[in-house]
Structure 1
């Protein structure tokens, strides 16, 4: 491309930095040129990446896992909850996912691909369906002058289509739940802006559940003559999965009129034997719009017929009636075209809607049928596509207003850097695309575990569960366990701040499972010992595998016996009070109080010497499940003291004097022991074992203080950790784990030696955990270390989103070089803890002014690489 074209794109990108009006693209968000190529190519963590010493430590685990993996995959024909032999390769292609919460998700890549599918709950496949495209047709004086698939691909099918759009003429911009792709059509003086809108709206529990997305195409004609412009939307009936070749799929056109407004489109009925669904492409009928369709065409041939049909007159032939059912192995696609006139030097717009209707679902066991949340409003017959599309096309502007009102205070806060605003909103993709399910509570369901309130249990059907349903999301797209609780501890900030009813609903489910007991003996892969699947009066690790029967059978994780984990019970107690503090729901606190007492009584058995402080057991018995910890430790000891503190506070609120006195005594003794055994004058040692690595600097050592501050505690009567020691510890973490690692540009490594070398004693100690880093940053900000906190978090954002191409698949972990682990992970939702910390910090005009100047400078620097790439 020539220099003038490069300049025009640069000018285009600048001009489309708008103010949420007209064609405006927001200034803040994640932006990339469609011609961009990421230089860094990382690989997933594999067994060959483990050092010889670590292999020797875990050779038993490896052999047991291999035997279990073979039985699971070859005999039971099930997917393993963690597949170390099938780690996902890095595809640097993903953009903002489509759809609301819990109704299934489809991810659209930043180049326009429909490329990641989660329609069956919690089960993913990663197939780019090449025929799922948008095509533009320009006509002047009755003649087609330009027709182009808006894709940079050059596929081996549909060869008669005009592929290979030059990506240097376009850019993608994401600010979840919306995204913009701006295309300049070379030589045509026409600019198209595709705005992608999904109904992900805080505190909205109706529209946010809808499996629907809207594509708004804004057209700018800078010519001296009018144009007729048509956008054609093509979709395959299905998602390209290998199990979809059963046949019997068929398409049909439809029209729906309600309250004087009509929508038309095509329904793609996908008759899979398990969880059948219907895709629906639709557009709004208006007097100055022409809607036409093609009910069926083959996406496997050259595509000549449909391409020529569109080119001849800018319309499709719109055959009546349905397509015949497909034969076994046959694939069918459909098309919807909408056209309008655009005056010289004028604008116009076209709206499309895509829905996917799978109201009834079964998980892998096929034991129970579940009803998705959105079916409360649109029924369970699987015929909701037209009505959903009608509603979306009539209401998406309201959704956008709500989204703008929610995001505006943060986006307009000049004290916040641009990268942070992108991280805050774009990391929310996981609420939609985390294998998320949101279903109605079955009428026969008893979540109390069989115990009633008078016996120390819960109501059989708590009101929040009956009204708002059940919510679950995966630990990660590769770590297939729902509501993994040690990780949810970090991610939960996003839910409690934005959809608090879902956070409370999840808590009631966890509380009910505490008192349940599953005596089935199962081997733990780490130790080789057998233990019950679920022990009574402890918090479960997770509520199940989507390839089994979640809620019915918990603890899909079987590497360790998590009944002996030290952090799960504590994290439940801390979340109960944090949730109460943020919602002021006294009934919730009362319901949870007996469960808190039960799990804390269970936890006390880990205080072997009676000094008021629990001990770790000498193996990896907490969320760092590959990092051995022995005796009192900074992480679990800190969580324990924070939990004892909130037990005191809850006992005061509920006027339980005897419980208050009990825990007040424990807190006094435990705090003294914690300080004596772990404080070294600068920070809290990793553990008190006296091993060579016991004085490592753990980045997460202040997690207990983090939650206390987030819950409005940590001062005066409830000061557990002295302020000066917390600040000293955080400064040590910043100096060593952040600034002495990777040049201070990649966040905080989990473990660092005092001499400034990463702790390599385990496969996790020398990793960066993105969600932990965001929590650490929040802790720093809570303690007045604003600059340090933002710099720490920025390292992770830059690494993931800009350097390694992991946008919309933020991993659990990465190392300094070459390796990542577990793409698309739950824990980074903890970025919302940073926002809570910012909301709670005292403001000063000086700080705001200084931060604003830094933010403006940072924004200018951030835009430069993208502009340079587009000049290539």
Structure 2
């Protein structure tokens, strides 16, 4: 399919009129507008997050905060406080459309009827005077929602005479470290008149002033343990706080709009700043109306009655500051006439400038976009002006970077769809992207492991999930690894309880937060001091984990070798000292001096509810691959930069020789590798050779022979995929050779982990078994996008339609499909910028 430009949009809009249904764009996820879900996946643990299936694509730049408009038309995702999540209905944040032809008048808010206003503690019926858009049913479609991140489309049908299509996007542009950070959403409305009479139309956008809402009012943010043993902190945003808010009209060259502001502190606090609603000021034949203030707490009739009657809204520029208990909404509307057969395009922009994201103890950071717009919190209009000036160029650039994926017809369309849509997490996964500094020229970056496990860039998880970031925004991938490089030498002796022991009934066991030389599990949490206070998670003692140092080494060498911008020796040299320290620390767990670190019995690797004892296949294979990477790194640094790495080469070389000699002897059972050397656990572990996958991906000597790799993959395929629910769900983590569970009540072994499945599929693909790779990916993608899990992809799904840990970082491992095919075209723009 050709790039999806203006002519294509108009063509699709036209085909959506009359009896021919509108067709969603290629490689997009789609669903009938407002159609309910019969049996979506539900959460496995009561304490884990489950917002329900009405999730759409997020809008906004990385680290800028985001909002989401759902397949039912509601704006219901409000992740505007860095690292925090608020999902709720604000009914007056909405588009509406009025239409008149002759005596026939139609007016609807362009969302299905809300059952509540989540900002109103009284729980009354919201905006009861409004007419809401009818939801689709099995027998009637009133429209279609489609998404191919960062693009989404909402097409309306069988309600208005006009053809109505809205395309929404933000400038998410690979390799562009400026525009990808912008806090802005563009809504490109397309209208057509298929009738033989003129149509009058009026499009309205109304918006609540939420300045000051998205900050945590719980200063303590006390940490406690969930029922699954994981830590969490309290989050109490200031939803509904309205005192001091004011709205006013704004006119600047290029646009007309409305600004929504608060009463700023000095210095500016988290959540303070501006919103802006804007449209171009050069739209011929269009009447623009602006209502700077109306009250959304009543039935909404002061705005809806005139709009429903003749498409008008009260024209006002009332900038009075709200008193305590008051709420203030604003609206902007554009009215025009469409002649028979005519079409019209109306761009509308929503921008926000909330420059500060705060952490614990008064610490805070400026968001990345402030490098380009300043940190005063008064630049929402400037952001909107640039969007209205450049949105067409942004849209063309999105077409350009998506085209190579769209053109890869060997990949089934659902998987091409998922390649795009799984990138959503870089925006809505609590992403943190700070302003630049001399030490961090692109800022510091992090994405939460997930919203339930709310700590940044879990290193074991990003071994899989960062394959997307590496290929599309490699400088951000380097920024994350530099943060780990700084953290490895640090120490924090403060004691905290380890949650796993509570779940096992073993009482209180405490451990140091961070031991010097240990590779941290994560870069900290949004309620503390991320990047500086690491190892937030306390489910296990991360200082004892046996995969993290190997994960770090492999990611550093991977980013050096595979970044589309080319090899960066300076980056390699920056990471080398910490990589050496990390491997030396991990070797200290080789209790029997066989060259291989030993797992200690308590879960001490990414499967952190799954005990391993002695040398394990998973950690041992990663260790061997990491030593190969370390030797390759040492040689390059000595050859190209003149660093003396001879001692490290001798040490790592000796460990490698010993490890290779013992790995197969200890673990190979003639068909596949035993899960570990000492527990006797009789299961086939699906991801046992992740280290071999990484070695092969990076062009290093394989960890195991081709014959043993293929034999292992065959056993995994039969036991964990084909004999687990007949392959319909994906690959289970670990089953007996006959496909039966070791423990019918087990947790990790019986779960299908989305990211592990995508990583495992990439391994199959690398070994030439593309059919199996695509079957695995198709099973997982099918469950996610048919089970109401779109744009909140979980870590794990089960055979009883439950999930755990939504918005999970590891799922971006699907980009391993792209990384493992060297014949595929590079994404345009990444290497050039």
- Indicate whether the TM-score tops 0.5: yes
- Maintained 8 Å contact 1:198/1:213: yes
Question: Match of 2:417?
Answer: 422
Question: Match of 1:346?
Answer: 342
1:429-578 equivalences in 2 (<5 Å): 429-441=424-436, 462=439, 465=440, 467-527=441-501, 528-578=508-558
TM-score with structure 2 setting the length: 0.87
Q: Using a 3 Å threshold, how does the CA distance of structure 1 residues 557 and 400 change in structure 2: closer, same or farther?
A: same
- Maintained 8 Å contact 1:353/1:393: yes
Distance 1:401 1:12 in 2: 29
The answer to whether residue 772 in structure 2 is matched with residue 788 in structure 1 is: yes
Q: Using a 3 Å threshold, how does the CA distance of structure 1 residues 105 and 315 change in structure 2: closer, same or farther?
A: same
Q: Using a 3 Å threshold, how does the CA distance of structure 1 residues 228 and 164 change in structure 2: closer, same or farther?
A: closer
Distance 2:587 2:114 in 1: 63
Q: Helix, strand or coil for the counterpart of 2:704? A: coil
Distance 1:121 1:725 in 2: 46
Distance 1:355 1:535 in 2: 43
Compare 231-240 and 680-689 and name the one that shifted more. 231-240
Distance 1:659 1:266 in 2: 60
1:396-795 equivalences in 2 (<5 Å): 396-441=391-436, 462=439, 465=440, 467-527=441-501, 528-583=508-563, 584-655=567-638, 656-691=645-680, 693=681, 695-713=682-700, 718-760=701-743, 762-795=746-779
Which of the residues 292, 299, 303 maps onto 1:302?
299
- Maintained 8 Å contact 1:32/1:171: yes
Distance 2:15 2:53 in 1: 23
- Maintained 8 Å contact 2:733/2:752: yes
Q: Please report how far the alpha carbon of residue 328 of structure 1 lies from its aligned counterpart in structure 2 after TM superposition.
A: 2.2
Q: Please report how far the alpha carbon of residue 522 of structure 1 lies from its aligned counterpart in structure 2 after TM superposition.
A: 2.4
TM-score with structure 1 setting the length: 0.84
Q: Using a 3 Å threshold, how does the CA distance of structure 1 residues 765 and 356 change in structure 2: closer, same or farther?
A: same
Q: Please report how far the alpha carbon of residue 15 of structure 1 lies from its aligned counterpart in structure 2 after TM superposition.
A: 5.7
Distance 1:40 1:472 in 2: 34
- Maintained 8 Å contact 1:486/1:567: yes
The answer to whether residue 350 in structure 2 is matched with residue 390 in structure 1 is: no
Question: Match of 1:293?
Answer: 290
Distance 2:634 2:18 in 1: 60
Distance 2:603 2:60 in 1: 38
Question: Match of 2:505?
Answer: none
- Maintained 8 Å contact 1:314/1:339: yes
Distance 1:516 1:637 in 2: 26
Alignment root-mean-square deviation, CA: 2.2
String of CA shifts for 1:388-433, please: whole Å, max 9, x gaps: 0011111111111111111111102221101101110000000000
Distance 1:262 1:10 in 2: 30
1:836-855 equivalences in 2 (<5 Å): 836-839=819-822
- Maintained 8 Å contact 2:16/2:157: no
Q: Using a 3 Å threshold, how does the CA distance of structure 1 residues 763 and 36 change in structure 2: closer, same or farther?
A: same
Q: Helix, strand or coil for the counterpart of 1:532? A: strand
String of CA shifts for 1:270-314, please: whole Å, max 9, x gaps: 769743132211111123332211111122212112112223442
Q: Using a 3 Å threshold, how does the CA distance of structure 1 residues 572 and 270 change in structure 2: closer, same or farther?
A: farther
Distance 1:591 1:154 in 2: 53
Q: Please report how far the alpha carbon of residue 146 of structure 1 lies from its aligned counterpart in structure 2 after TM superposition.
A: 1.5
- Maintained 8 Å contact 1:700/1:750: yes
Structure 1 residue runs without a partner (length 5+): 1-7, 18-24, 47-84, 443-460, 843-872
- Maintained 8 Å contact 1:137/1:144: no
Q: Using a 3 Å threshold, how does the CA distance of structure 1 residues 506 and 628 change in structure 2: closer, same or farther?
A: same
Distance 2:39 2:805 in 1: 18
Q: Please report how far the alpha carbon of residue 126 of structure 1 lies from its aligned counterpart in structure 2 after TM superposition.
A: 1.4
Question: Match of 1:150?
Answer: 110
Q: Using a 3 Å threshold, how does the CA distance of structure 1 residues 246 and 314 change in structure 2: closer, same or farther?
A: closer
The answer to whether residue 155 in structure 2 is matched with residue 182 in structure 1 is: yes
- Maintained 8 Å contact 2:259/2:274: no
Q: Please report how far the alpha carbon of residue 515 of structure 1 lies from its aligned counterpart in structure 2 after TM superposition.
A: 0.7
Q: Helix, strand or coil for the counterpart of 2:26? A: coil
- Maintained 8 Å contact 1:144/1:313: no
Q: Please report how far the alpha carbon of residue 317 of structure 1 lies from its aligned counterpart in structure 2 after TM superposition.
A: 2.6
Distance 1:111 1:35 in 2: 4
Distance 1:95 1:246 in 2: 26
Distance 2:361 2:197 in 1: 60
Q: Using a 3 Å threshold, how does the CA distance of structure 1 residues 690 and 472 change in structure 2: closer, same or farther?
A: closer
Question: Match of 2:173?
Answer: 201
Q: Please report how far the alpha carbon of residue 191 of structure 1 lies from its aligned counterpart in structure 2 after TM superposition.
A: 1.6
Question: Match of 2:230?
Answer: none
- Maintained 8 Å contact 1:247/1:326: yes
Structure 2 residue runs without a partner (length 5+): 1-13, 116-124, 215-235, 502-507, 639-644, 826-833
Distance 1:814 1:839 in 2: 31
Which of the residues 91, 98, 120 maps onto 2:52?
91
Which of the residues 207, 220, 232 maps onto 1:235?
207
Q: Using a 3 Å threshold, how does the CA distance of structure 1 residues 668 and 43 change in structure 2: closer, same or farther?
A: same
Q: Using a 3 Å threshold, how does the CA distance of structure 1 residues 669 and 470 change in structure 2: closer, same or farther?
A: same
Q: Helix, strand or coil for the counterpart of 1:619? A: coil
Q: Using a 3 Å threshold, how does the CA distance of structure 1 residues 516 and 154 change in structure 2: closer, same or farther?
A: closer
Question: Match of 2:280?
Answer: 284
Q: Please report how far the alpha carbon of residue 9 of structure 1 lies from its aligned counterpart in structure 2 after TM superposition.
A: 10
- Maintained 8 Å contact 1:581/1:712: no
Distance 2:247 2:539 in 1: 49
Compare 385-394 and 273-282 and name the one that shifted more. 273-282
Question: Match of 1:264?
Answer: 257
Q: Please report how far the alpha carbon of residue 12 of structure 1 lies from its aligned counterpart in structure 2 after TM superposition.
A: 7.2
Q: Please report how far the alpha carbon of residue 102 of structure 1 lies from its aligned counterpart in structure 2 after TM superposition.
A: 0.6
The answer to whether residue 785 in structure 2 is matched with residue 805 in structure 1 is: no
Compare 551-560 and 698-707 and name the one that shifted more. 551-560
Q: Please report how far the alpha carbon of residue 658 of structure 1 lies from its aligned counterpart in structure 2 after TM superposition.
A: 4.0
More helix by share: 1
Question: Match of 2:31?
Answer: 32
